[in-house]
Amino acid sequence: MRRAVILVALLPLASRADDADAPARLRMRQLAPTAAAGEPPGPHELVDARAELQRRFRDELASVSTPAGANAAVASLLAAAASEPDRRLKWLMLDEARELAADAGNAAAVSRTLKLASASFDFDAVAEEYRTLNAIPLRLLDPDRAASLAEAAGQLGMRAETDGRRDMATSAQLLAMRGWERAGNIAAARAAAAKVRELDPGREPGRR
């Protein structure tokens, strides 16, 4: 219900014909642990940590029904997560921050949250960032937020390309193209479309 309340507040600012296809909000998925970063905690490990999260951030989480309140909560959660020694609580802080940032249409905060999470936990941060950004309905964003989403998606596409994930890179660049279109930056939208054609020569960016 949180997303519905926040995005209603954004509605007068913003149109995207395909947002009905956007995936539902998901909890961050996880992969097998590596030596550098440990596996994220499972649901059964988070019961006590969730209660502590609600206790520590009661005031912030009570004010997330507006974009301003959600963004303030994101800032508090990220600041606390940076130095949180309890891995279970750290994961919950970051996951909650990611969801709230998406709810508020704050793509830059989504990227920051996942960057911080990937430094401590082993999960597919590239795929998670794409899922989260793609779930933000562009029609509800003003041009500035749409441009921010386009920038984040374009950078994500470059990272995916560097990792050899061409399908993911293509999808991210398509999202960047739509974001630039929503922002009214036609030159940037054309550049993103050209990148899509470079990644997938048989792909027509204007068709799904």
Please provide the DSSP assignment of 30-63 as one string. Answer: -----SSSBPPPPGGGSHHHHHHHHHHTHHHHTT
Tell me which amino acid residue 50 is.
R
pTM of the model: 0.80
| Per-residue model confidence as pLDDT tens digits over 13-59 | 333 334 433 344 445 554 333 334 688 888 888 888 999 999 999 99
Residue showing tokens 């793609």: 134
Rounded to an integer, what distance in angstroms lies between the CA atom of residue 54 and that of residue 49?
9
**Tens-digit pLDDT profile for the chain (208 aa)?**
454 444 434 443 333 334 433 344 445 554 333 334 688 888 888 888 999 999 999 999 999 999 999 999 999 999 999 999 999 999 999 999 999 999 999 999 999 999 999 999 999 999 999 999 999 999 999 999 999 999 999 999 999 999 999 999 999 999 999 999 999 999 999 999 999 999 999 777 765 4
Please state whether 105 falls in left (phi above 0), alpha (psi between -120 and 50) or beta: left
Tell me which amino acid residue 5 is.
V
End-to-end Cα separation, the chain, in angstroms: 29
Q: Tell me, what DSSP letter sits at residue 13?
A: G
The helix-helix angle for 186-199 and 166-183 (nearest 10°) equals: 170
* Contact criterion met (CB below 8 Å) for 141 and 6: no
With a CB cutoff of 8 Å and minimum separation 6, the contacts of 11 are 140
Domain ranges of the chain: 1-23+30-125, 142-208
* Contact criterion met (CB below 8 Å) for 172 and 156: yes
